[in-house]
Copies of this chain bind each other. A is one copy, B any other.
Amino acid sequence: MTKASPTEPIAHPYMANSNVGNFQHMMKVAGVSNVEELFEQIPPDHITKREFNLGPVLSSESSLYRHMNDILRKSTSCEDSLNFLGAGCWQHYVPAICDEMVTRAEFLTPVWGTPSSDHGRSQAWFEFASQLGELVGMEFVGLPVYSFGTAGGHAIRMAVRLTKRFKVLLPRSLDPERLAVIKSYCSLPELAGYIEIVSVAIEEASGRINLEDLKKKLGTDVAAVYFDNPSYLGVVESEAKEVSRLAHECGAEVIVGVDPISLGILTPPSEYGADIVVGTTQPLGVHMNCGGGVGGFIATRDEERYAREYPTLQVSLASTSVEGEMAFGLTLFEQSSYGSREQGKDWTGNSVYLWAIANAVYMSLMGPQGFRDIGTSIIERSHFAASRIDSIPGLKVLWAEGFFKEFIVNFDKSTLDVEVINGRLRKLGIFGGKDLTSDFPELGKSALYCVTEIHTEEDIDRLVQALEEAVK
């Protein structure tokens, strides 16, 4: 058949019609004698002259598996080492049932479907939105967006559209990675629609937003105040209500970014004034996947004013032709880029919808008490670690109180740089905290440590010992 190679004139397992019989049957019915006829509309000078070298074909699954396995084994995972990196991608335990569901072919493969034929998937999405809504205290929730940062970017653009103002305030403590994403959502000064980002200082003593600086920068030209709670640096913004009040006073929208895993113990943003809540979905049952587990969401009150600005798709409960039956259909499809092209609200497309199923499963497994417990577990373990590390001579934990999951270890008293210390830890089988030295020079030689429910007392002891050794 079409194979040129004489060494492998066999059908390919991924292509049902790559056998001679089927291929020739199709040729006959289609009235084609030479396959090249089919490409008649491509001008000859468009056709490439250079051969393709993609390496030896691995059409045998066993060869492919071996090849992949041999290479991938060269990495050292956070199961091989003890990991304290967080900083936007967090190591939480992923219940086995989350993986079971997202690997089931039925959930793994759908592309679009109808409300009747992919009903189960739509229901799972609705359950994602409903449960997340409970956690953040909001009634309108979109289907997931690419990430925390992109959720932030979209939310800011929503606020700009709502207020027709073009300035947003963000605290200095923002994740530089997330900030870079948000920046790319704010266009450039040369273009219409450019959104100016103004940084608000944080208090040296607490790491929280500096209210004085905030007041100074707020004004009736501000579309939104955006802040994360807890912040990138782990700090809980306990004055959040006051931040919201000040912003609202100027007619600005309040956008709060949250890590939903904290919401069993922390107040939901709806209760301290958030108008738009965004955040990450990765901690809710998705592996870190080398950063490929990130996902984001947008939630608001169920008010038309906000709903009409969503860039996402979302599913709504609906009835069917049979009394009492539930279906799930897309609401406000018109305003998406699918519905209105450049007139739509920003844009949407394939996102991380499969993770929404993992998230729904995770939230169902945890239930109210599970969220309470995991929040408690994380705050206890992280404070324990902070307290133990703080007592190591020469090490200091900045803002040793009022944080959740992440905290800053300062190494100013050591002669060594964070990079060197992390190198030493790595030799001891430990991934030390994210080096903040260049992103936050004002914090000195600092690293952001992340401690979650997976870290045992023993793990923390091991870290403390290793740190003691590393800074020697």
Contact = CB atoms under 8 A, between A and B. Distances in A.
B454 A61 contact: no
Contacts of A456: 66
Given A100-B105, A104-B104, 10 more contacts: A10-B369, A13-B365, A61-B93, A61-B95, A61-B96, A62-B453, A62-B454, A65-B96, A66-B454, A66-B456
Given A69-B79, A79-B69, A93 B369 contact: no
The 7 A-B residue pairs whose C-beta atoms are closest, nearest first, are A62-B93, A61-B95, A62-B454, A62-B453, A69-B79, A61-B96, A61-B93
Interface in A192-241: none
15 contacts: A10-B369, A13-B365, A61-B93, A61-B95, A61-B96, A62-B93, A62-B453, A62-B454, A65-B93, A65-B96, A66-B454, A66-B456, A69-B79, A100-B105, A104-B104
Contacts of A13: 365
Interface in A3-24: 10, 13
Contacts of A66: 454, 456
Oligomer copy total: 2
A181 to B, nearest CB: 30
Nearest to A365: B13
Interface string A115-147: 000000000000000000000000000000000
Interface of A: 10, 13, 61-62, 65-66, 69, 79, 93, 95-96, 100, 104-105, 365, 369, 453-454, 456
A369 B13 CA distance: 12
A125 to B, nearest CB: 21
A78 to B, nearest CB: 12
Contacts of A62: 93, 453-454
A394 B127 CA distance: 70
Nearest to A92: B62
A95 B13 CA distance: 12
A85 B17 CA distance: 39
A248 B216 CA distance: 104
A290 B13 CA distance: 30
A460 B61 CA distance: 20
A351 to B, nearest CB: 26
A141 to B, nearest CB: 27
A105 B97 CA distance: 11
Contacts of A105: 100
A232 to B, nearest CB: 25
Contacts of A93: 61-62, 65
Contacts of A96: 61, 65
A299 to B, nearest CB: 27
A453 B66 CA distance: 12
A96 B100 CA distance: 15
